[in-house]
Amino acid sequence: MAFTLTGLIIAISDAKVLAKFSSPLEFFKSALATVGNAYLALFQGSVYDVNLTKGHTFIHGFYPLSETIVTATPLILTGLSVALAFKSGLFNIGAQGQFIFGAIGASYVGFHFHLPVGIHILVAALAGALFAAIWGGIVGLLKARTGAHEVILTIMMNYIASYFILWVLKTQSFLRPGRIDPIAPEVNQSARLPLLAGANFRLNFGIFIALAAAVFVWWLLTKTTIGFKFRAVGANGQAAKTAGISVPFVITSTMMICGALAGLGGAVQVLGSEYALNADIAGSFGFDAITVALLGRAQPLGTVFAALLFGALHAGGRTMQSSTGVPLDIVLVTQALIVLFIAAPAFVRYLFRIKKMNTSASLTSKGWNG
């Protein structure tokens, strides 16, 4: 449904299509062709592109699929961060800031130290996760102690983080020798995640880290006592408190783990595909994470699939932009529409005149005083 609406927008905004508005038949043909081309490019950019195989083996046609997975990897991690927060009844908008701190930490350890291959990756990734865990933990601690709403706190922390990275990139230790623009040195070879499909593809080990994190979140939530506490607080804070669960502890530890997950996303982005820290490293991973978690219904497995879908939309959107001239930003619109329809089951029922179903309750966070 979201795709139909998006198609409509693409068609309306195309001047060539509008020019044929006088004859309805021509108009529809042209509109369909434009939308069709855009979606074809979207597919070519995200899964398989025959054109890329010219002069190469057929495997090369899968380059877009590799791009999809590379884009999805940090999205899985940030998406898990938001999803886990949802499970504890928190709305973590701060994945963006946590991602930035993860990237800073991983980058610094990556280019500043010289360590053996396996250990260097581990230390760099952990440094990223730790930085971000502290950054996320601040929010948790503030909320637990003062009751301030995490949405406001994380929005503000995101801005602070985005200015912080601008400043960090200007400091002496992050300045790349011989460069004056804000870009950090590339991380050492020993800290880079191994490529999985040769030098032609950016596909790297990061996807396994992301999948492992998804398994970890699933295990944490369903198999451990602490995960049970998280879910209990998320389902009913008052009841959990009465049952003797320390709500401040749950809030703080949730936000720390969420921070670590998003930070790991930043670390993977730096160590796996970007190598050098730059001001734009976080892109919109932290914000897309929210749509990913919502689409994945805050379940680890759902989050993975949602991240893959959005990874495909982004990777494909780039191809669509270059080959058909439909701006990448339409992907944002599609995402927003998808989430809107998911967040509003009542609206969808109303739209299709469906009688009351036994759907699970839609995701909710709490009001300012919650």
Partner 1 sequence: MKKVRSNIEKRRLSGVTAISLMSSLSLLYFGFISPGKDKTTFGFVLNNEWVIIKEWVIASATGAKIFSLIAVVASIIAVLAFRANRKIVIPAAIATFGILMSFITWVASGKFIPFTGLLQGALLLAVPLIFGSMSGLICERSGVINIAIEGQLLASAFVSGVVASLTHKTIWGLIAAPIAGAAISFLLATFAIKFSVDQVILGFVLNVLVIGLTDFLYKKLLVPYQSTWNTAPTFGHIELPILAKITVIEPIFFSQSIVVYLMFAIVATITFALFKTKWGLRTRAIGEHPTAADTVGIDVNKLRFKNVMIAGLIAGVGGAYYTVGSVGAFGKEMTAGAGFIALAALIFGKWSPIGAVFAALLFGFADNLQSTLTIIGVSIPSEFMLMVPYIATIIAVTGLVGRVRAPAADGVPYLRGGAH
List residues near partner 1 by CB under 8 A.
9, 13-15, 91, 93, 142, 145-149, 151-153, 155-157, 159-160, 163-164, 166-167, 170, 287, 290-291, 294, 326-327, 329-337, 339-340, 343-344, 346-347, 350, 362-370
Shortest Cβ distance from residue 118 to partner 1 (Å)?
Answer: 36
Nearer of residues 149 and 192 to partner 1, judged by Cβ: 149
Nearer of residues 3 and 208 to partner 1, judged by Cβ: 3
Nearer of residues 157 and 270 to partner 1, judged by Cβ: 157
3-state secondary structure the chain: CHHHHHHHHHHHHCHHHHHCCCCHHHHHHHHHHHHHHHHHHHHHHHCCCHHHHCCCCHHHHHHHHHHHHHHHHHHHHHHHHHHHHHHCCCCCCCHHHHHHHHHHHHHHHHHHCCCCHHHHHHHHHHHHHHHHHHHHHHHHHHHHHHCCCHHHHHHHHHHHHHHHHHHHHHCHHHCCCCCCCCEEEECCHHHCCCECCCCCCCCECHHHHHHHHHHHHHHHHHHCHHHHHHHHHHHCHHHHHHCCCCHHHHHHHHHHHHHHHHHHHHHHHHHHHHCEEECCCCCCHHHHHHHHHHHCCCCHHHHHHHHHHHHHHHHHHHHHHHHHCCCCCHHHHHHHHHHHHHHCHHHHHHHCCCCCCCCCCCCCCCCCCC
Shortest Cβ distance from residue 187 to partner 1 (Å)?
Answer: 23
Shortest Cβ distance from residue 341 to partner 1 (Å)?
Answer: 10
Shortest Cβ distance from residue 63 to partner 1 (Å)?
Answer: 25
Shortest Cβ distance from residue 321 to partner 1 (Å)?
Answer: 9
Nearer of residues 123 and 333 to partner 1, judged by Cβ: 333
For residue 366, the cross-strand partners are none
Shortest Cβ distance from residue 319 to partner 1 (Å)?
Answer: 16
Shortest Cβ distance from residue 327 to partner 1 (Å)?
Answer: 4
Nearer of residues 125 and 331 to partner 1, judged by Cβ: 331
Nearer of residues 13 and 173 to partner 1, judged by Cβ: 13
Nearer of residues 124 and 151 to partner 1, judged by Cβ: 151
